[in-house]
Structure 1
Amino acid sequence: MNYAAVRYRAIEKISSPILTAMARMNMARAAAVFIGAHMRTEQSAEGAHPVNIVYLPKPGHTEDIMACFKGRERYGILTLDRKLVKAVFAAFLPKTMDDNNYKTADAQANAAKLRLRAFWVRVLKYLQPSLNFHALFTGNFSYASEQELAAACTELGVPFIALHKECMKTPGLRPFYVDVYKTRKIPFQGTAICNYNEMETGIQAEAGVFDPDRIKIVGMPRLSRVHWRREDLVRSGNKADAPTILFFSFNSKAGLPVLGRKIPGSYETLQAGLEKLNVERASDACHHALVNLARENPGIKVIIKTKGDQKARRFMTRLFGENPDFPSNLHLAEGGDLLDMLSQATVAASFNSTTLFEAIALDKPVVVPWFYEITDPALKPYILDMDDAVLYAHSEEEFCSMLKDLALKPHEGGRELSQTSQRLLEKWCGNPDGKTGDRVRQVLDSLLSKSD
């Protein structure tokens, strides 16, 4: 039995409606007890000066938190399921007031936000002493359902920190996101924002979403695990069990302007010049090419890694149908530890994906498609510049031949990274040294010392 899946469905279908009803009836004490019963302790704090953090799990953010605090005995780690936060939100505001639609002049909606904040203040006054937590972490400064929770924490003097994971903003995306941040989002109501890189920090500063003095560049924490694993591979001489291609699935809007909404269709229509940008043909071609490569090369293991959410499942169903006839050496991966997959891969591939930086940090060969719409000059400002740290395939045929050759070719992984790779990891991920966790803990400890 998949306990995690059962728990997910139970919180979604049973616990969340109950919590929403409690919030509607203004039952703060009951809500605090209910939320506390659902929180899990992943690590207990030890030592003379223990610190307990609460984080809101989300792919990417969870790995970042673990890279910062897992195994650090001073820090306890508790999880608060984001669905429960959304359940409280649902008692006060409609779901259409989402991440990209939270800023409003509507007096009724803003009054509801204040009531939501007041409810969270009361819940936290009951919850915080019983669980003895010192700070909360989230993965983005602008998640709508968490805005008033952040404000409530600030009001009570509990640090609420955004370890902001959406930081891969190319030059083309900068004006788009400056406008979105200014016009669609409210200023962050928490205590500090920790970013991966200067690009995201510059956008936030220009948009005025937070006090620049409280925005820190710390780097991508989860990349530290990759640095450590690369060093382990050097010591162990570990090699992949079999020739393995790891492909990170990407859709037609990978790295391009989109505005996700809680509306039918999931996306808001942008102005025509932005709306038409897409890499649909390249995306479709890469996925079909991987299936054909697997079918023609049964000795090569091919893994297609998706995000595993509903959008990703709909995308894969559109490409291959409900019950695709994949060869036995092709595997679709939705969950699992990405680092373990990368460690066993002999080559990785994708387009405009953060995961490629993790492959580079692990010293894996990386192939990037460079054909069809991707070569359109209009897309150039939106493409992650990975320089010569990766190989570029200029046709479907070259894409497959490169992947096949690199999968079968022995590669001495775990070497010292090239200067180009180090420069890219510094520019985009802010973590060429594996010490991002130190910087995050310094931010937290500084905030706690000020609150004492």
Structure 2
Amino acid sequence: MSTTRRLKSYYRLLAALLQARSSFDFALPILPILARLGLAFPIAYLIHKTIQPMTSQSSKYKVLVIEKAVFNEDIMEVLGEMPEVQVFGLKRAVIKCVSLGILPKQICGDDCYITDDPVANRAKLDYRKLLFSIWSYLSLFRSYDAVLTGNWCYWAERELGAVLEHSNIPFIVLHKEGIKPPERSKILRNLFKTQRGQFTGRRVLVYQEDEKNHQVDGGIARDEQVICVGMPRMDRNHKWRRLAAAGKVPSRADRQTVLFLAFLPNNFLPSYSGIESDLAWEELCSGTYRAAIELANENPTYDVIIRPRIQEAPEVEILLNREGPQPENLKIVSEGEASPLIESSWVICGHNTTVLLEALASNKPVVVPHFGESLDPRYEGFNVELGDAVEHAISVEDLKTRIKRHCETPYAINEELSFAVTEALQKWTGNPDGNASERVRKAILHELTLLN
């Protein structure tokens, strides 16, 4: 690196130092500069300063979690009260910033990491070598017994798995999502073989058998690397249901509350993965949002809540506005956890989302819009089929009618789930019993005890 470029790097470092409000704020702009300079020790020190404890007790094992929305909920459900383990959190942005100092932009994406470009592949090796040095120094500040993340394919972490494995530190993936309709699974398996490559860490913990088959058949991991454990955060839905059935907690809000789980026209379709396609849930999407607005207008005593994924909230707002003005009793809630919304709702409506399954585990009535493109044979295989566990609305009017019926005559929360619901939970979440967290604990503890 020339003297001029080096001086510019130092000036940027000084500017960031002057503007920083916290170790995290300071680290983000500085880490790419330090990575380009190959300075592993100061990078390790900055990473150490950004790491925060997620549990307070000092324990035999220390586990580092690379944080991610929803994944954090699973982790705290599993490890939050596990006496053998102390959990520390590292924000994903920190790892990304280190990688951006070395990796070329064209491979900085989950779906474009695999490449034949020799320059990019040399950069990967350089990044791996730097991570090895960083981990060695980081271990001087605090020694970690395992590292957990939410998906095997996060591009900035791909080399980290190999580094940790070389250091005999388990790199464990606890997949934060696992529902893939059959056609989407088929598309992704083909993509993974050409664009994502293989998992280089120790173990992959998935929700259910379909996800395991998806990863093994897609060449992501070996059969013995993948363990089915179920959806950990669903344990609390099972627990809440039992408490509500026993009358120990309120089973719904005082006001009639309807929860619509928002979705976009490309939800789980080929274009969702960047593949050109004319398939789109246009009529289904439009009709569902129209039903929500009309329902709120026609029933001013109802609270109608639209729940989008936080990153999709602006697009959902646009889709809603197309269907008409939003009444005062309709609101969009994108932040916070979904569980309190499920618990307060009288009925839940949605399409292709795990939150519907969390609602079923809570023994809440679920209505799925099943009109428009859902009836088109071209879309067969792109629906998460829940069978008799849910009600299927065949039109906008039918959707409103079914929702109103549940608001007018709510049924009691039962401790026991129906066979249809249990079957759906087993297939899509691997957690029909509320014991997924215990299965994850056993799997993680097994890896930790092997270190001794």
Q: Decide: shared fold, TM above 0.5.
A: yes
CA distance in 2, matches of 1:43, 1:217: 25
Task: Check if 1:244 corresponds to 2:257.
Answer: yes
1:164-205: per-residue Cα shift (whole Å, max 9, x none)?
A: 133212222232121011111121011100111111111211
Q: Tell me, which stretches of 5 or more residues in structure 1 are unaligned?
A: 1-7, 261-267
Shift in Å at residue 248 of structure 1?
0.7
Which amino acid in the other structure matches residue 282 of structure 2? E
Q: Is the 8 A contact 1:137 1:163 kept in 2?
A: yes
Aligned partner letter, 1:166: E
SS at match of 1:103: coil
Question: How does the TM-score come out when normalised to structure 1?
Answer: 0.90
Q: CA deviation at 1:9?
A: 11
Which residue pairs with 2:204 in the alignment?
Answer: 193
**Counterpart in 1 of 2:427?**
427
Name the counterpart of 2:438. 438
Contact 2:205/2:226 (CA < 8 Å) preserved in 1? yes
> Per the alignment, do residues 194 and 204 of structure 1 end up closer, same or farther by CA in structure 2, a change over 3 Å counting?
same
Is the partner of 1:382 in helix, strand or coil? coil
Amino acid at match of 2:315: R
Question: What is the SS of the residue equivalent to 2:67?
Answer: coil
- Conserved? CA contact 1:223–1:361, under 8 Å: yes
Kindly name which structure, 1 or 2, has the bigger radius of gyration based on alpha carbons: 2
| 1:382 equivalent in structure 2 | 382
Is 1:27 matched up with 2:50? Answer: no
Q: Deviations over 1:200-252 (max 9, x none)?
A: 11121112222211111111111111111111212315232221101110111
CA distance 1:214–1:378, shift in 2 (3 Å):
same
Of stretches 180-189 and 168-177 in structure 1, the one that deviates more from structure 2 is 168-177
The letter of the residue matching 2:342 is L
For 1:45 and 1:430, locate their aligned partners in 2 and report how far apart those are by CA, in whole Å. Answer: 30
In the TM superposition, 1:130-279 aligns within 5 A as 130-235=141-246, 236=248, 238-240=250-252, 241-258=254-271, 260=273, 268-270=274-276, 275-279=277-281
Q: For residue 41 of structure 1, what is the amino acid of its counterpart?
A: P
Does residue 76 in structure 1 map to residue 86 in structure 2?
yes
Q: Distance in 2 between matches of 1:76 and 1:329?
A: 43
Q: Does the C-alpha gap of structure 1 residues 127 and 252 become closer, same or farther in structure 2, counting only changes over 3 Å?
A: same
- Structure 2 counterpart of 1:292, from 291, 294, 300: 294
Partner of 2:3: none
TM-score by length of 2: 0.90
Corresponding residue of 1:447: 447
The aligned residue for residue 305 of structure 1 is 307
Counterpart residue identity of residue 320, structure 1: N
Q: Is the 8 A contact 2:262 2:306 kept in 1?
A: yes
Partner of 2:96: 86
Sequence identity of aligned pairs in percent?
A: 31
Q: Which residue of 1 aligns with 2:48?
A: 36
> Match of 1:246, SS?
strand
Counterpart-to-counterpart distance in 2, 1:314 and 1:11 = 33
- The aligned amino acid for 2:54 is E
Show structure 2 runs of 5+ residues with no match: 1-19
SS at match of 1:56: strand
Determine the structure 2 residue equivalent to 1:264.
none
1:332-377 CA deviation, whole Å, 9 max, x = no partner? 1111121111111110010111111000000000000011111111
User: Equivalent residue for 2:12?
Assistant: none
Q: Which amino acid aligns with 2:263?
A: F
Q: Who is 1:282 aligned against?
A: 284
Counterpart AA for 1:27: L
Partners of 1:384 and 1:63 in 2: CA distance: 23
2:61 pairs with one of 32, 35, 51: 51
Aligned-CA RMSD value: 2.0
The SS at the match of 2:148 is: strand
Give the paired residue count. Answer: 429
* In 2, Cα distance between equivalents of 1:250 and 1:420: 24
Give the C-alpha shift of residue 131 in structure 1.
Answer: 2.6
> In the alignment, is residue 317 of structure 1 matched against residue 330 of structure 2?
no
1:72 Cα deviation from its structure 2 partner = 2.0
